[in-house]
Amino acid sequence: MQIKNFSSITEIAEYVTKEFINQIQQKPNSIFYFATGQTQIPIYQKLVELAKESETSFKEVTAFNLDEYLGVSHDSPNSFLLYMRQHLYDSIDIRDENIHCPNGVADDATEEAKKYKELLTKAGPADICLLGIGPNGHIAFNEPGSFFDSTARVVDLTDITRQTNFPEIRKLNQTPNQAITIGISEIMASKRIVQTITGEHKLDILKKFLNTNLTTDLPATVLKSHPNYELVTDQKTLADQLLR
Ligand code: GLP
Q: What is the pLDDT of residue 104?
A: 98
Whether residue 222 is predicted with pLDDT greater than 60 in this model: the reply is yes
Q: What is the pLDDT of residue 235?
A: 73
Are the C-beta atoms of residues 29 and 35 closer than 8 Å to each other? Answer: no
Strands 99-100 and 2-5: unpaired
Q: How many CB atoms lie within 10 A of CB 92?
A: 17
pLDDT tens for residues 14-71? 999 999 999 999 999 999 999 999 999 999 999 999 999 999 999 999 999 999 999 9
Strands 2-5 and 31-34: unpaired
d(CA 193, CA 195): 6
Band of pLDDT at residue 239, cut at 50, 70 and 90: low
Q: What is the pLDDT of residue 236?
A: 66
Are the C-beta atoms of residues 191 and 125 closer than 8 Å to each other? Answer: yes
Question: Cα(71) to centroid of ligand 1, in Å?
Answer: 18
Residue closest via CA to ligand 1's atom 7 equals 134
Q: Which of 101, 92, 77 is nearest to 44 (CA)?
A: 92
pTM above 0.85, yes or no: yes
Residue 44 zone, left/alpha/beta (φ > 0; ψ -120 to 50; rest): alpha
- For residue 30, what is the enclosing H or E element? none
- Average pLDDT of span 70-80: 95
Q: How many CB atoms lie within 10 A of CB 159?
A: 11
Q: What is the pLDDT of residue 170?
A: 78
Are the C-beta atoms of residues 128 and 30 closer than 8 Å to each other? Answer: yes
Q: How many CB atoms lie within 10 A of CB 84?
A: 23
Question: Cα(137) to centroid of ligand 1, in Å?
Answer: 10
Q: What is the pLDDT of residue 171?
A: 84
d(CA 119, CA 116): 5
Residue closest via CA to ligand 1's atom 3 equals 140
pLDDT tens for residues 149-176? 999 999 999 999 999 998 888 788 889 9
C-alpha torsion 146→147→149→151, nearest 10? -30
The mean pLDDT of the chain is 95
b or e along 56-82 (b: 16 or more beta carbons within 10 Å of the residue's beta carbon)? bebeebbbbbbbbbbebeeeeebbbbb
pLDDT tens for residues 107-150? 999 999 999 999 999 998 999 999 999 999 999 999 999 999 99
Question: Cα(22) to centroid of ligand 1, in Å?
Answer: 25
Residues with a CB atom less than 6 Å from ligand 1: 35-39, 66-67, 132-134, 140-141, 161, 165
Q: What is the pLDDT of residue 124?
A: 82
Q: What is the pLDDT of residue 200?
A: 85
